[in-house]
Chains A and B, each alone.
Chain A
Amino acid sequence: MLYDLNIPWTCSTDPLELQRTISFLSSLGYDTIALNHIMSTVPSQIVNPIPSPLPFTIPPNTTILRRCTLQIEDPSLNYRLPALAAAYDVLALRPKNEKGYDAACVSLLEHSIISLDLTQRFPFYFRPKKLMAAINRGCKIELCYSQAVMGDAAERRHFISNTLEIMRATKGRGLLISSEATSVLGVRAPADVVNLFSVWGLSRDRGMEGISINARGVVVNEGLKRSSYRGVVDVIYGGEPRALEPAESNKKKAIEGQKKRKADDTGEITSQPSKRAQKKAKHAAKQAGIGNGMSQKTTPGDSTPVEGIPSLVVTKDNTLIPTINTNG
């Protein structure tokens, strides 16, 4: 399974071009493709503009996901990330400055990809501490090779220097490799991509991980976040709902009635002193007995008779009987 999680999509994208790109990616061996909608501000009404299903036929065995990339600058603004995440299949953040980068690495929680525009020079260093903090909690750092392949010499230089720095800081862990190909010419075959990154110093295994395992992790996690209960429990197959026959449903009602009565019963029982209270009292009695230097027998079910002191015994029918224990 190979993934390309970044094919830019805008409202003006030509569907013919898009179909061509998807078809080409599929012929190169990628089978999960995410269409990426890049936003600089959050609209007041969050609607997913990417049509699903797409208005043309896609190759068989190809999955199309819808992803949103939000550019962030000031983390103190309310970006309404949970609402955004709910509208799209995958949520990524693209920090524009150091503040945004720090927030994306450390404090913001909803996204699973940190995608940087590596064709520019960043006025800060990529420190292992922050990047690894992000990676350790499940975020992936995205490297888009098309920025280098389609860019001019200056962009390529910036891309390589930034990529090397990120690879040094993360030691190649938690990287996600995708294309971000604005035209179909920016797409390369998986083997070519792995070679490209291996020339830049990322080992082959890590490169393969970037387009397969790590990308899969993102997709599966994001899917779980949306479909499961708090991202922990998901019902994969709950079985077929059983069709009830009328006679059976009557029986069920009867059972329910019984159950109700039972519940009432238990309610009565709880009016008796709880087991914990009984135990406590028992313990207190024991202590008293030890204090007197005498051994004391207590029978289970009895309520803590203390020698010579009148106490209340609770019987099964819920009446209290005053007794005096003489310890015979």
Chain B
Amino acid sequence: MVRVKHRYLLVNILYPELLKAGRESSAKLPDAVTFHQPTTSGLNSRGLEKAIKHGVEELFGDYGYGAIRGSLQVKYLSTATSTFIIKVARDHYRMVWTALSFMTKVPGVHDAKPCVFRVIRVSGTIRESQEEAIRRAREQILAAQREQGEKSDLTLAGIFGPPGTKKDDVMMVDKGDGEEEGSNEG
């Protein structure tokens, strides 16, 4: 009996849109901060799961819905950092990812803010996702401080090391995903 393999998607909710009301006030905040706003607490894991399933059904029909229904699970949801981790069967995680790319609103919330879902890591174990999430959160703080022009970040950078190169972060999702992917497709 072969173990069922899964993928864990680490996803960030980003808010790139300018706030209509607070144009002046938001101008003071660095962009790195406003992109990573906290999500409304109205979002819960059940609503999120439902929205993803609905998105998959819209894009891939009954086949897609059936393929992911059994395995899709929200493992972690933090509205304060706008981060969540979902678990899905390895064969079908691309459909879930696509559905996330097509979502433009916080699901399950009345009068929701427009947002963008960005998958920042695909990994085979939840532990890797968790470590990556922690690393990201740390770097966001540093980036925000750098943008603000604070000198205090030097001490933090001394503790956590210099900021990683951007290039590694951008396509991070492809790491650790390669060899299994090859056997899967080839």
Question: What is the interface of chain A, defined by CB distance below 8 A to chain B?
Answer: 2, 16-17, 20-21, 23-24, 27-29, 149-150, 153, 183-185, 187-192, 194-196, 198-199, 204, 208
Contact = CB atoms under 8 A, between A and B. Distances in A.
A24 B171 contact: no
17 contacts: A16-B18, A20-B18, A20-B31, A23-B31, A27-B32, A29-B166, A29-B169, A149-B101, A184-B18, A185-B104, A185-B116, A191-B120, A191-B173, A191-B174, A192-B118, A196-B98, A208-B171
Q: Is the interface of B mostly helix, strand, loop or mixed?
A: helix
Given A2-B170, A16-B23, A20-B18, A188 B101 contact: yes
A20 B174 CA distance: 28
A187 B94 contact: no
A17 B31 CA distance: 12
Nearest to B167: A29
In order of increasing CB-CB distance, the 10 nearest A-B pairs are: A29-B170, A24-B16, A23-B31, A184-B16, A191-B173, A189-B118, A192-B101, A199-B98, A195-B97, A199-B94
Contact of B171 (A188, A191, A199): A191
Contacts of A20: 16-18, 31
Contacts of B58: 153
Residues of B in contact with A, size category: 20 to 34
Contacts, number: 78
Contacts of B35: 24, 27
Nearest to A23: B31
Contact of B16 (A2, A149, A187, A192): A187
A145 B74 CA distance: 27
Given A185-B115, A188-B118, A189-B118, 18 more contacts: A17-B18, A21-B16, A23-B31, A27-B35, A28-B118, A29-B167, A149-B102, A149-B104, A185-B17, A185-B104, A189-B170, A190-B170, A191-B120, A192-B97, A192-B118, A192-B119, A195-B119, A199-B98
Contacts of A185: 16-17, 104, 114-116
B95 interface: yes
A292 to B, nearest CB: 80
Contacts of A24: 14, 16, 31, 35
Contacts of B31: 20, 23-24, 27
Contact of A191 (B16, B119, B166): B119
Nearest to A188: B101
Contacts of B166: 29
